[in-house]
Amino acid sequence: MSAGREQHFLIRRGAEDVLEHCQAQVVALHLVHCQTAPLIQPVGRLTAQAGPTVEVEPARDLQRVGARWHHERSTFTFQRWTFNWGIRWKLGVGRRSFTRNALEMKGTIISIRRGIPEKDGGFMGSLLSARTGCFVPMNRVRGPAAAGRAEAGPKRFALRVSPRSPPAATERRFMGSPRRCRRRILGILASVLLMPGTASEAAQTNWPQFRGPNASGTAEGFATPATWDVVTGRNVLWRTPIPGLAHASPIVWGNRVYVATAVKPGKAELKVGLYGDIDSVAEREQHQWRLLAFDKATGRLVWDALGHEGLPRQRRHTKASQCNSTPATDGRYLAALFGSEGLFCFDLSGRLLWRKDLGLMDAGPYTGPTEQWGFGSSPVLHQGRVFVQCDVLSGQFLAAFDLQDGREVWRTPRREVATWCTPTVAEANSRRQILVNGWRHLGGYDLETGEELWRLSGGGDAPVPAPVVAHGLVYLTSAHGNHRPMRAVRLEAAGDITPPEIGQTNAAIAWVHPRQGNYMQTPIVVGERLYGCTDYGLVTGFDARTGRIHFSERLKGPSQGFTASPVAADGKLYFTGELGDVFVLRVGDTFSVLATNRLAETCLSTPAISGGCLFFRTREHLVAVGARP
């Protein structure tokens, strides 16, 4: 699009589900530009109005990631834009790849799919209806000269686009004749249409943080295996050694898998299992805190970046490591929190951009302040900021830093004991908040300012699970000491919502079970069901909206602890035990174990899921599990 000129695109009302429910809502769309197809052009904020015309304002919060698709003699350069409220994912079709851009809007996912250039500068496009799963043709538009001149009709909406800035010439490379490119684009679309899954099951290929997209622990749109065998290699795509000891979980962005680790001479001591010791391990050897990138398809090490080298500033628990926090990425920056060694930010090539000393992260039991267990909270990235929850013995705070330069945006003190919880971002009803778990202070803070919005106290006194958001609720749990609640709190909560008794509800607390909570594992919501697992393998299935318990059953097998959080995909739940046994359950209201698989090593990290593959970080390996062709 050229700067300063309006252009019109017409979308047929064949997909009523696109706009009929978005009165007074802010929506994000992608359009394919008629002159630079298949360049995906950002549209910005779209506000539905009463009339047939929908105004579109330029977006201000766009982050660009270049992505290219090569096919024979033609090269298409896509510009993938991530909207703060959008969903983006990519499909692999044989040797090809095709970028889909989707939007979830009150249960509806829409996606612009096709841009076919015409000789007069117009284009044909289509909109994928989430309700019907079919392509809905867009009207043919004849470029800027015909802006707004297409046929009128009650079944059409006009979108007026004011471009943010003209695309760079190098970003508009479009080789081949319009007719040839039209055939090739149609070929890609035909391949995409033949793939399984519907628009409402938006396939996710990125797993950008602890527990994946939106910290949900779920990834839909691809089939995942129920069984595999590390010894024989069945359904094991690759298995790559990883140096050092760490419980940081893998993350995935594009064709890379990233892991953090702490490396020292010799083999680090690790004691897994169910035991109550509070002992610490004092390590006096030089450590290297490193961030590694692996090729997603082959497991080949792409780069190995050193963040910090020195003696550990704090001791760790016998079951913990010096690198427990999972890194996070937004596709441009990689943030890694190495506990007392600081907060580090890299680019996707492994270059260290900045680091921040957050002080001593003395995370240990408040009843035994001389013991140290190691820091465990992971960073969260959102809209160009990195958020960290630092609940430690010497001072607790929640803070936001600018991703570009590490500048502190805000810092809010907290009155809490040491916790190992990762915060979660939630946006609902025009309210954006960062949610935290805890013992003395659970609650929500304003995402922009750090101001406290609501608070709740009580529960287990050594909290570890992260908040989980679904159905307008945040699920909070903990289980250590006298209480182990599982609670559902409404996102519109305000003020102090603490009830007189831990088992009571009120206007803000939708439901609670005072003795059904989890100690180490973050629970997971799949559809209408909430699943939790205790540290000794007792799985409980709840109705996510009402809290009604469907079942509570123990995972069979050798006695072992459960530290990794469950993940879900393709109608399956994956629970990983510390001895490396992975229990695969069927999603449903009944307890049904499909298979038990062994990783042949201990495993305390939560797996990542991307494109139908599961990535497990075991004691000494990174393992990719997926169905072999």
Confidence (pLDDT) at 254: 96
pLDDT over 60 (residue 179): no
% of the chain beyond a pLDDT of 90: 64
Closest C-alpha among 453, 455, 429, 427 to residue 442: 455
Confidence (pLDDT) at 429: 84
Residues 570-606 pLDDT 10s: 999 999 999 999 999 999 999 999 999 999 999 999 9
Beta-sheet pairing, 96-105 with 108-117:
antiparallel
Mean pLDDT, residues 49-53: 35
pLDDT over 50 (residue 165): no
pLDDT over 70 (residue 104): no
Q: Which residue has the higher pLDDT, 303 or 26?
A: 303
Confidence (pLDDT) at 204: 62
Let me know: does 116 contact 38? Beta carbons within 8 Å. no
Q: Is the peptide bond before 38 cis (omega within 30 degrees of 0)?
A: yes
Confidence (pLDDT) at 628: 82
pLDDT over 50 (residue 110): no
What token pair was written down for 380?
Answer: 């969260």
What token pair was written down for 470?
Answer: 């679904």
Confidence (pLDDT) at 143: 35
Average pLDDT, the chain: 76
Mean pLDDT, residues 262-286: 93
| Domains of the chain by start residue, with CATH | 7-193 (no CATH), 213-625 (2.130.10.10)
Confidence of residue 277 (pLDDT cuts 50, 70, 90): confident
pLDDT over 60 (residue 301): yes
Confidence of residue 336 (pLDDT cuts 50, 70, 90): very high
Confidence (pLDDT) at 94: 32
Mean pLDDT, residues 11-15: 29
Confidence (pLDDT) at 136: 33
Beta partners for residue 102, in sequence order: 87
% of the chain beyond a pLDDT of 70: 68
Residues 218-260 pLDDT 10s: 999 999 999 999 999 999 999 999 999 999 999 999 999 999 9
Beta-sheet pairing, 352-356 with 380-382:
unpaired
3-class DSSP state of 205: coil
Confidence (pLDDT) at 428: 87
Residues 485-538 pLDDT 10s: 999 999 999 999 999 999 999 999 999 999 999 999 999 999 999 999 999 999
Main-chain phi, psi angles of 601, to 5 degrees? -155, 160
pLDDT over 70 (residue 125): no
C-alpha angle 272-277-280 in degrees, rounded to nearest 5: 85
Q: What's the CA gap between 130 and 498, in Å, rounded?
A: 40
pLDDT over 90 (residue 150): no
Confidence of residue 77 (pLDDT cuts 50, 70, 90): very low
Mean pLDDT, residues 450-473: 97
Confidence (pLDDT) at 98: 32
Beta partners for residue 608, in sequence order: 615
Computed from CA positions of residues 308, 309, 314, 315, in that sequence, does the dihedral angle turn out positive or negative? Answer: positive
Confidence of residue 355 (pLDDT cuts 50, 70, 90): very high
